[in-house]
Structures are given as C-alpha cells and as structure tokens.
Amino acid sequence: MTWNDDVLSTFESADELVLVLEREGRPTVEVPVWVVRVGGAVYLRSQDGTGSGWYRRAELQPEQNAELEGTRMPVRLVPAPAEQEQAVSDAYLAKYGGPGFPRILLLPDAVAATLRVEPR
C-alpha cells in the first residue's frame, strides 16, 4: 500500500506528525515528531536514537496510529533502508534547516533511528 499524492503533499507541508503509540497494558503515548517526504515515501527520526521510549515502543508494535493535520490514520513504522539515510537527512535540512534546527537529527544515533511511515 502507498500514500496518495494528496496525503504526501500534506506530509510535505505539515510541521509535524503526532504518533499515537499504543502498547497492551500501557497508557497511550502521543509524540510529536518532525516528518519528511522523500519521493513517494515518508520518514521520521528519533532525535534520541534507538534507545528512546517511543522508538522502542514502535519497534515492539510497528502497527500504530498517527495524526496528521488533525486526521488520525493507521500507520506501520518500519526501519528505513540504509540507502535512504542521506536522502532523509537532506530532506530534513531542506524542510527544517533554518535557525533552531536540531542538528542532533543528523547525528549517527538519530540516523540509526530512521523509520519509514507506511499506510495500513
């Protein structure tokens, strides 16, 4: 399954995506993250790397929900292919690279925590 052009455009223009992470026996966690589009795919990163709580939760249960511009949608969070890492970094710089951009998103720990956001 792939994103349609309208949804891809919304991802591209949105300031952030809110992950709505659920895990059996645990409270739901809502995490705002910066999100980028590379071609027909959508990516996000954990600035705290693969050890962050929300990243670990997504690893354990990749089928989650997300809110984009007020619309909730079911998503699957999967590790991004290594060959996309530089393109994702470039997309982060192009979209958010002004003053105040957290360059931590370009460091190896964050790059290792790059996930592709897929529709389900």
Average pLDDT over residues 35-56: 96
Enter the tokens of residue 10.
Answer: 């919304």
Which residues fall within 8 angstroms of residue 44, CB to CB, at 6 or more apart?
17, 19, 33, 34, 35, 36, 114, 115, 117
Q: Give 5-119's CATH code, choosing from 2.30.110.10, 3.40.50.300, 3.30.230.70, 3.55.50.30.
A: 2.30.110.10
Q: What is the pLDDT of residue 110?
A: 96
pLDDT in tens, 60-100: 999 999 999 999 999 999 999 999 999 999 999 999 988 88
Helix (H) or strand (E) holding 95: helix 85-96
pTM: 0.92
Chain Cα centroid distance, residue 95: 14
Residue 1 confidence (pLDDT) above 80: no
SS3 23: strand
- Burial label for 67, CB within 10 Å (0-12, 13-18, 19+), is middle
CB neighbourhood size of 42 (10 A): 25
SS3 7: helix
Domain boundaries, the chain: 5-119
